[in-house]
Amino acid sequence: MASHKTTIINEKGETIEASAPIIVSASRSTDIPAFYCDWFFDRLRKGYSVWTNPFNGVPSYISYQDTRFIVFWSKNPRPLLGHLDELDSRSIGCYVQFTLNDYENEGLEKGVPPLAQRIDTFKQLVARLGRGRVIWRFDPMILTDKISIDDLLKKVKNIGDQLNGFTEKLVFSFADIEGYNKVKANLDRNKINYREWDFDSMNEFAKRLSDLNRVRGWNFQLATCGERIDIFQYGIDHNRCVDDDLMIRFGYMDQELMNFLNVDVKSVSPTLFGDPEIPESAVRISDTFYGIKRKDNKDKGQRQFCGCIVSKDIGQYNTCPHLCEYCYANTSKEAAVANWKRHKQNPSGEKIIGI
């Protein structure tokens, strides 16, 4: 289970039932670090927020009393830099899924800061958090009448050369337009002449990306996000974006988190008979410490090819004012802007949209 139930007292003085997640995702649904960072940390201090189910509109309360780890997702996490000390003071671990694309010339991401500034932010986060705790995402890889596979690889090369030594991993996905009506509608509305990926083009890209990773000496871990296609032959894995391996590496001293993840942290020392046998699934923490999982933590409620473990996402769709042309999280730019304005009218409200 992602969380258990508890009771809280809300701002009206009412006793309310709330879920109390150990792991929070902030957020797949909107860019909390870029636009709602102050709101999130204010709610963290107040102990709870309200999340509305996008399918039935029913609100529910989320308590942060037991939160031990947060996965942040962002295209511009610079505001997060001013809040990381607070997480440390609360002994809450984190890492950042940093979507760092380059669609400047094509105008697909007009609301994000310039590429050079985003790369600088990436490096500042690494300096503050450490290299393994900032993951580079180029997501999605999109083909249009103006963007070819060659173009995408040039973009990846440019960013990869600048991030060499600053990250361990590159996560990517292939834009699946026809499979998502919301994305298709947004691209059609914005007159973006997209092209679908097929098996051959995905394999070509994967092979060439793997070759680029080797030739440039990056040696990044390459992984796809939620992709059906298997391209293991190129050294590319299926990713876990909400990743218990990373949480073990960076939170192994938090016994409550390790209990939730069903992990035993073991100290292993060489013996007279050589190195002891370590389970293949063990997560290396250091030369002498390993985390050994007692069970699979995969979230069974996610897509079939999603490897994420259980967590609670606290974001809301239709709230991201980056206004990317291909956006899957906004039904329309107008809806996102309207909700952003509502938030600014009440920036510390229980809900992300302020009402």
| pTM score, whole prediction | 0.95
Residue 274 DSSP one-character state? B
Residue 268 has a pLDDT of 80
d(CA 318, CA 338): 9
pLDDT single digits (tens) 51-82: 999 989 999 999 999 999 999 999 999 999 99
The helix (H) or strand (E) run that includes residue 266 is strand 263-267
Contact 173, 223 (CB under 8 A): no
Tokens of 141: 């890889």
| pLDDT-derived band at 138, boundaries 50, 70, 90 | very high
**Which residue do the tokens 């600053």 mark?**
166
Domains of the chain: 3-261+297-345 (3.20.20), 262-296 (no CATH)
pLDDT at 315 exceeding the cut of 90: yes
Contact 25, 71 (CB under 8 A): yes
Contact 157, 213 (CB under 8 A): no
| pLDDT-derived band at 238, boundaries 50, 70, 90 | very high
d(CA 266, CA 53): 40
Lowest mean pLDDT among 85-89, 93-97, 290-294: 290-294
pLDDT single digits (tens) 172-210: 999 988 877 878 888 888 888 999 999 999 999 999 999
pLDDT single digits (tens) 91-131: 999 999 999 999 999 999 999 999 999 999 999 999 999 99
pLDDT single digits (tens) 5-43: 999 999 999 999 999 999 999 999 999 999 999 999 999
